[in-house]
Structure 1
């Protein structure tokens, strides 16, 4: 599901970019047990390309493949990431155009809660991860999506949403096992975690 105008403004601004480069990068580095040096990384839902910058500059990945459902976001990312070790495309997390067991790490900067059939997104992420591969994720729980502010100003699927425990159960169903307790940040607005493919 594409972002509405309010969400695009909230997600595509210097404050959000600074938060990704500093706090979110720090969270993911800690959850990964270090950087992602030498790894082939897939970012699902690239937006305007800030996440790919974080993955390269703050987490040290060798290269990044990114996609987004929104063609206009992919074009913004293409301009931002010109000359970087990034492969960009328009794509759908429920039908990832990557070979099975081909990716070292998948990074999700809060995309899966936008997907109507989020279970299929998890299945696809599990499919493309190699054995021992890592999923790093930041997600918004159902309790936040059900608040007045989210229901009024954002465009999300209303049915079939998840809390952290339900997300963990679905990950495990696809062989993605948590590396520790999920953490809740920003007053419970997001939860973060990491899972490895068995």
Structure 2
């Protein structure tokens, strides 16, 4: 047997060894990332779960879905409180991290809790009144992130007491943090009616 033939015979065995070692290294890296994602020094807790029986890497549990649904309900309860000037519930439902964002019905793109919180306080001061509810909601959730797709339906009031219809498509994204599920993104359609009523556009 010449050296070339010997090398060819060894190649499949060598490839299997390399693949096995790379697989072990990959598993170790994933485990390290999962552990690092839940350090007690961070307010964000994102455990990673993998299931070989599912095409979804992080399959949801009933608790995850219920948690995201409850967080979404809390957001709309807070929104209606904000319409009468009470900002406290809205501050409680949001993450206060620098990566949160909002694209609201008056346009613009707001990033970071400092800016998002400031915008909610400004809107609370308008005391738009009325009520908005979430309808036709779809909930998607995993161990650390979840979102809802819904329709916001209801009405607000102009400064002179005239009703303004609210009917938006909306997406809400939530993240599991040490204080529970917190909103990290809110996105709705633009509202010509609210822009006209408030005289504001972003």
Q: What's the TM-score once normalised by structure 2's chain length? A: 0.23
Q: What's the TM-score once normalised by structure 1's chain length? A: 0.24
Bigger-Rg structure (1/2): 2
